[in-house]
Chain A
Amino acid sequence: MTATAEPEVGKARLRKEDARLITGQTRWTDNLQLTGMLHMAVLRSPVAHARITNIDCARATAMPGVAIVLTGEDLAAEQGSLPCAWPITEDMKAPPAPALAVDQVNFAGEAVALVIADNAYHAADALAAIDVDYEELPVVLDLQEALLDNDLVHPDLGTNKSATWVYDSADAGSGTNVEDEIASAEVVLERTFRQQRLIPSFMEPRSVVVDPSAGMFTVWSATQIPHILRWMLSAVSGIAEHKIRVIAPDVGGGFGGKLQVTPEELLCLLVARRMGRPVKWTESRTESMLSAHHGRDQLQKITLSARRDGTVTGLKVELLADMGAYLRLVTPGIPILGAFMFNAIYKFAAYRFVCTNVFTNKVPTDAYRGAGRPEATFAIERMMDELAAELGRDPMELRQQNWIKHDEFPFNTVAGLTYDSGNYEAATARAMELFDYEALREEQARRRSSGDPVQIGIGISTYTEMCGLAPSRVLGALRYAAGGWETASIRMLPTGKVEVITGTSPHGQGHETVWSQIVADRLGVPFDDVEVLHGDTASSHKGMDSYGSRSLAVGGTALVHAADKVLAKARRLAAHMMECDEADVEFATGSFSVRGTGTVRTLGDVVLAAHVAHDLPEGMEPGMDADATFDPDNFSFPHGTHLCATEVDTQTGMVKIRLYVAVDDVGTVVNPLIVDGQVHGGLAQGIAQALYEEAIHDEMGTLTTATLADYLVPCAADLPAFITTRTTTPATSNPLGVKGVGEAGTIASTPAVVNSVLDAVRHMGVRDIEMPLSPERVWTALQGGVADASTPAAGGLGSIDSQGGQS
């Protein structure tokens, strides 16, 4: 075992994962072919709200290759109800959520019948031969209309309101009363923003394979959450947890979209049990868009009070959040994750947050990258620009007046959190320098005065967010059904190689590389001597998986603790081997030595001695493995300053991003290459919300954006090159000093872009444009019209040929 010389943490290591991914030697779930495997296809409701009066499967059952056709009635006794793990209030209303509809469908795309056949083509053929009679019911789509309870999504609940959740700083003792602040304010702004509905759009469609052989149900799934999935599948199906093994092999992106216990996962399990044979289901892209959960979809009414000198005083947030037709795994809690972030980096005296969760006949919503926090950041960063416009102030200077100064940390916020560290001045100074803010303001003034048809705007987002989900006691207080700890194990093998087992479940983030770097540093072993095992409940029996930018801050910390346990034991054995006092043993770059002597034992020597166990200290167990579980005391709080310059063609409404600068403080960086990549991808998704993407249902509740031709995931030509860099204040809540970076780009960028476009056209009388800011909406706004939700944004953006096909 050779010692590593330079520190691994901070090094731009190329990824271990890439070798298989660039050569096609991959392990996607859909690659699996098992002997005797059957294929499942799902018939989905074409209508958004209806009673099922009859299903005729006779023709389908008789078709070639078809083994069985199943309806909700066939599975009613065993399918139970899909889990919702986050009942946000004691009196939250939750409808039963059957995986396969039994007598009623509540959104277009809901599973109605299954065909099980010898291959996927035969299964798909037979779907067309199933006859379903629907008796249509009134469709509930609009959030505000739903509140009136004229028509009900779930008549048995008696209302479309699922729950109302409140945080009030006066009640919590974290601030004053917001109504008092508003009543006594010199300036009060009230705005309503719409967070459009988005589709996570991971590139790998979901796929499930269940093998029921050998007395064990082995479930392969394209999931972010193998551990939670195992637990929930057991709870819903009644199959004992130790008889279920879940494997998340290579998983092609998630972005929250694979943080779910899906109907199809449960159905594959039930069908495999019934048939006694392996079963596979792989969705088409359209199926994915119709049935995998969507994200965002909120109406935000924001009231901000301030003094005439620009000091903000009160913030009142009233949300309506669209649940869709059912409460999936964490659906109700998504808007609540934003509750702590609307006040952001600013020092409000008073804060009140009220969110009402509402059912509609649409695809259920749930986590999508940022999950609650992008919504909060958008609202507050838009409001700060509105206040600046109202007061005629520079928007950056106004923010600076109100934000928490670097010497005020740790800072207790009006939303009840403690921000441990940060330096907003430093990140902003760096961003302003890279952006050349003053020069762009001058150009803006020139174009305004000359009446240039292309106007430019500058958008600011000085965001923070909360990562490292989560302290278990906090989750408990929020009525979440699970904890937020994470676990790691280290197995020291007799040859000195190292196996690391993590309870996190990567799906593109590069944990194999980063976890290897951490262990290499801690134990002084070569990077290449570390193998990281994940995503299989047989090798990693516990874990809380990957979402909420938690993997490194929580899972990485567990790994550090496990490594420290290995070293503690190894140090004791090394002292025994070198016949010295343990206090005299020093450890550096993979070797133990006795202080002041030339006596040395490498970690490899010690590991081998522990393994053969010929001569161990009294009471020491053989072997040199260690497990550790870490439950954080606090969240971590990345922050940064993003600046966006757009060119808006006032004659066409076309928006072009000219310059985008992102300076992020994500704490200590383990691998700068990976951190930059996370920021780039996050920016792309946040910009896409601002300019391109929207899931649209027509008046019947049919999703009209159910292909990648209609739902505008940006291509390379739709996005600019980004300038990204970092400032660093290490987190104090974990030994690595890391904060998390998975969601920062997405959270920060949406308001930066929208603020920029509005800055370009505000002098022409435009006060707001709903997202996404399509050319049509921008142009309409410039004509003095209101571009609202009834104007579909899709189409005509030029990025994707809606005729489909090859470019």
Chain B
Amino acid sequence: MHISVNVDGVTYADEAEPRLLLVHYLRERLGKTGTVVGCDTGNCGACTVHLDGHSVKSCQMFAVQANGHEVTTIEGLARDGKLHPVQEAFRNNHALQCGFCTPGMIMQAIDLLADESDPDDETVRKGLEGNLCRCTGYQNIVRAVQDAAQRMKPGAGPKIEQHSDEHVGSKQPVGGE
């Protein structure tokens, strides 16, 4: 099946087998190996990317479902050589050790912060429920997300990363056309 997907600002036109997972398309075909696979049941969240600005688990989607959509990965966050505030906050707060969960964790944290400009501890912990980390005990991840919130003025994030209430229920991506 023919697909056209914009990934990190570049539009790719490809043939994709219908069963090809989005994460495998990103990793194997586009060489976007910053996004990783940690499980096969959608529990760990290591493969989290943004589809049209909202977080999705790319191991739970087929590449063809991304047809006509924009995908942002961890590799597309830095702008003009400058790190995204969430990336900086992760480093400054020692929110990673082995770093394998980090791409997914950062992508999910950005999604969370688009809705929660000043999240308390519990809001962050609940917002990251779908992302597992085995190294950090989450303490510094929570701190990093809260630190990032302070670095990002409310409303200053890209429009595409914000959504209104009616969109909250439809965060699950639907198949691409």
CB within 8 A of A250: which of B27, B28, B99, B125?
B99
Quick check: is A214 within 8 A (CB to CB) of the other chain? no
Rounded to whole angstroms, the CA-CA distance of A262 and B132 in the bound complex is 25
Q: Which of B1-54 contact A (CB under 8 A)?
A: 17, 19-20, 24, 27-28, 31-46
Cα–Cα, bound, A511→B36 (Å): 23
Report how far A681 CA is from B103 CA in the complex, Å.
Answer: 18
Prevailing SS type, chain B contact patch: loop
- CB<8 Å pairs between A and B, sample of 10: A18-B96, A119-B28, A204-B38, A252-B98, A285-B38, A715-B129, A745-B137, A799-B129, A806-B130, A806-B172
**B81-114 vs A, Cβ < 8 Å mask (1 yes, 0 no):** 0010001001110101111111100100000000
Asked whether, in the complex, the Cβ of B42 is within 8 Å of the Cβ of A805, the reply is yes
| Distance (whole angstroms) from the CB of A407 to the closest CB of chain B | 35
Interface residues of A in 1-58 (CB under 8 A from B): 14-15, 17-26, 28, 30-31, 33
Total number of A-B contacts with CB less than 8 angstroms?
200
Q: Is the CB of A716 within 8 A of B97?
A: no
Contact of A14 among B94, B106, B134 (CB under 8 A): B94
- Please tell me which one of the listed residues B40, B87, B92, B98 contacts residue A253 in the complex, with CB atoms under 8 A apart: B98
Shortest distance between the CB of A726 and any CB in chain B (Å): 16
Stretch in A153-161, A317-325, A672-680 touching the partner: A672-680
Residues of B within 8 A of A676 (CB): 94, 140
Q: Does A713 contact B (CB under 8 A)?
A: yes
Contact A677 B132 (CB under 8 A): no
The 6 closest A-B CB pairs, nearest first, are A24-B34, A508-B98, A21-B99, A252-B100, A807-B130, A680-B137
Write the B119-157 contact mask toward A (1 if CB under 8 angstroms, else 0): 001101110111111111111111000000000000000
The proximity string for A residues 711-728 relative to B, scoring 1 for CB distances below 8 Å and 0 otherwise, is 001011101011000000
Q: Please tell me if the beta carbons of B75 and A24 are within 8 angstroms of each other in the complex.
A: yes
- Whether A680 lies near B27 (C-beta < 8 A) is no
Residues 761 to 807 of chain A near chain B (Cβ within 8 Å): 799-800, 804-807
Across the interface, name the chain B residue whose C-beta is closest to A14: B91
> Which residue of B38, B75, B78, B121 contacts A205 across the interface (Cβ within 8 Å)?
B38
Q: Is the beta-carbon distance between B140 and A709 smaller than 8 angstroms?
A: no
Q: Looking at the complex, which one of A202, A204, A684 makes contact with B137 (CB distance below 8 Å)?
A: A684
Known: A23-B87, A252-B99, A285-B41. A677 touches B60 (CB 8 A): no
CB <8 Å contact, A18 and B98: no
Provide the residues of chain A in CB contact with B102, threshold 8 Å.
Answer: 21-22
Q: Is A81 an interface residue (CB 8 A)?
A: no
Cβ–Cβ contact A204 & B132, under 8 A: no
At the interface, yes or no: A251 with Cβ under 8 Å from chain B?
yes
- Candidate in B24, B98, B139 with the most chain A CB atoms within 10 angstroms: B98
Judged by a CB distance under 8 angstroms, whether B56 is at the interface is yes
Q: Which residues of B contact A508 (CB under 8 A)?
A: 97-99, 135
| Given A21-B96, A22-B87, 7 additional A-B pairs, CB 8 A | A22-B102, A23-B78, A121-B19, A285-B38, A509-B97, A676-B94, A677-B135
Chain A residues with Cβ under 8 A from B162's Cβ?
Answer: none
Contacts A14-B92, A677-B140, A680-B139: A26 and B34 contacting too (C-beta < 8 A)?
A: yes
Partner of A707, one of B43, B125, B133: B43
> In whole angstroms, what is the CA distance A684 to B60 when docked?
27
Least Cβ distance of A753 to chain B in Å?
14
Q: Is A583 an interface residue (CB 8 A)?
A: no
- Known A-B contacts A22-B87, A507-B98; the reply to A203 vs B46 at CB < 8 A is yes
In the assembly, what is the distance between CA of A707 and CA of B46, in Å? 15
Pick from A15, A24, A201, A804: contact of B42, CB below 8 A: A804
Is A722's CB under 8 angstroms from B139's CB? yes
Do the beta carbons of A28 and B100 come within 8 Å of each other? yes
Number of interface residues of B (CB under 8 A): 67
**A203 with B34, Cβ < 8 A, contacts A508-B97, A708-B43, A806-B42 known:** no
The answer to whether A204 touches B36 (Cβ under 8 A) is: yes
Known: A33-B28, A203-B133. A681 touches B43 (CB 8 A): no
Set of chain B residues within 8 Å of A177, measured between Cβ atoms? none
**A684 proximity list for chain B (CB < 8 A):** 134, 136-138
Q: Which of A678, A715, A804 has the most CB of B within 10 A?
A: A715
The verdict on B73 contacting chain A, using a C-beta distance below 8 Å, is yes
The closest CB in chain B to the CB of A509 belongs to B97
Among A17, A508, A707, A719, which residue has the most Cβ atoms of chain B within 10 A? A508
Residues of B within 8 A of A806 (CB): 42, 56-57, 60, 130, 171-172
Q: Which A residues touch B126, using CB under 8 A? A: 716-717
Docked-complex contact A203 and B132, CB < 8 angstroms: yes
CB of A256 to closest CB in B, whole Å: 12
Q: How far is the CB of A741 from chain B (nearest CB, A)?
A: 12
Residue B74 CB within 8 A of the other chain: yes
Q: Report B's interface with A, CB cutoff 8 A.
A: 17, 19-20, 24, 27-28, 31-46, 56-57, 60, 73-75, 77-78, 83, 87, 90-92, 94, 96-103, 106, 121-122, 124-126, 128-142, 171-172
Rounded to whole angstroms, the CA-CA distance of A213 and B34 in the bound complex is: 27
A residues within 8 A CB of B134? 201-203, 253, 255, 681, 684-685, 713
Contact A15 B94, beta carbon cutoff 8 Å = yes
CB distance B43 to A716 under 8 Å?
no
Q: Which residues of A contact B99 (CB under 8 A)?
A: 17-18, 20-22, 26, 250, 252, 508
Q: Does A284 contact B (CB under 8 A)?
A: yes
DSSP class of A's interface residues: helix, strand, loop or mixed?
loop
Across the interface, do A716 and B41 meet the contact criterion of CB distance under 8 Å?
no
Q: Which residue of A lies closest to B74 (CB)?
A: A24
Whether A716 contacts B124 by the Cβ 8 Å rule is yes
Taking A18-B90, A708-B41 as contacts, is the C-beta distance between A717 and B136 under 8 angstroms? no
- Say how far A217's CB is from chain B's closest CB, in angstroms: 24
> Complex: how many Å from CA A709 to CA B98?
22
Q: Is the CB of A805 within 8 A of B137?
A: no
Please, which residue of chain B has its CB at the minimum distance from the CB of A125?
B19
Do B129 and A717 touch across chains, with their CB atoms under 8 A apart?
A: yes
Contact A804 B90 (CB under 8 A): no
In the bound complex, CA of A250 to CA of B98 (Å):
8
A510 at interface, CB cutoff 8 A = yes
| Contact, CB under 8 Å: B83 / A203 | no
Across the interface, A722 reaches (CB within 8 A) one of B35, B37, B87, B137, namely B137
B51 to chain A, nearest CB (A): 11
The answer to whether B103 touches A708, judged by C-beta atoms less than 8 angstroms apart, is: no
| A681 x B41 contact (CB < 8 A) | no
A726 to B41, CA, bound (A): 39
Quick one: given A23-B75, A24-B73, A707-B41, are A716 and B142 in contact (CB under 8 Å)? yes
Residues A403-460 near B (CB distance < 8 A): none
- Check A203–B101 contact: CB distance below 8 A: yes
Interface string of A691-718 (1 = CB under 8 A from B): 0000000000000000111000101110
Q: Roughly how many angstroms separate A31 CA and B37 CA in the complex, as a whole number? A: 11
Residues of B within 8 A of A682 (CB): 137
Q: Is A707 a contact of B39 with CB atoms below 8 Å?
A: yes
Verify if A748 is at the interface (C-beta below 8 Å from B).
Answer: no
Residues of A contacting B42 in the complex (Cβ-Cβ under 8 angstroms): 804-806
B124-A284 in contact (CB<8A) = no
With the chains together, A285 CA to B100 CA distance in Å? Answer: 14
Bound CA span A33–B135, Å: 27
With most chain A CB atoms within 10 A of its CB, the pick from B24, B96, B129, B138 is B138
- How far apart are the CA atoms of A721 and B120 in the complex, in Å? 12
Across-interface contacts of B142 in A (CB, < 8 A): 716, 721
CB distance from B37 to the nearest CB of A (A): 7
With contacts A252-B98, A284-B40, A509-B97 taken as known, whether A681 is within 8 angstroms of B34 at the C-beta atoms is no
Q: How far is the CA of A681 from the CA of B57 in the complex (A)?
A: 24
Report chain A residues within 8 Å CB of B98.
202-204, 250-253, 507-508
- Neighbouring B residues of A804 by C-beta, 8 Å: 41-43
Task: Decide if A469 is an interface residue (CB 8 Å cutoff).
Answer: no
Interfacial chain A residues near B27, Cβ < 8 Å: 30-31
